[in-house]
Structure 1
Amino acid sequence: MDWLADYWWVILIILAGMLINGIKELSRVNVKRYLKNKPEIPPHRDNNAEWDDDDDWPKKKK
């Protein structure tokens, strides 16, 4: 880990470059065009619906 103490600034430059490139790519996104041409999302199907009737808890005896 001695190399980390000696070359911390290299890691900082790499992280700063990644941050700058991320901001550049996000600025290229055209939100209005995406929202206008947004793909249709299929309806959500609950996969647990068939098991909802089954009760795992024991029935209370009165």
Structure 2
Amino acid sequence: MVTVLDGHPDTLTFLATVNRVATTALGVTLFGQSGSLEDVYRYHGLDAESIVHAAVDLSDRKCLEVQ
């Protein structure tokens, strides 16, 4: 499960234990940056490319655990 929040990523980490699945939490860990929404989301890894990358990485990790 990949969670995406434009707040602190630990906010949703409880979902992994509730659902008993591997998770990657994406979110904002540094505050005070400014720019366009697109630029700030990219900076924090909340853009579409970063989300897809996190999902692929999580999937690859799960595949390695199964082997």
Question: If the length of structure 1 is used for normalisation, what is the TM-score?
Answer: 0.35
Larger Rg belongs to:
1
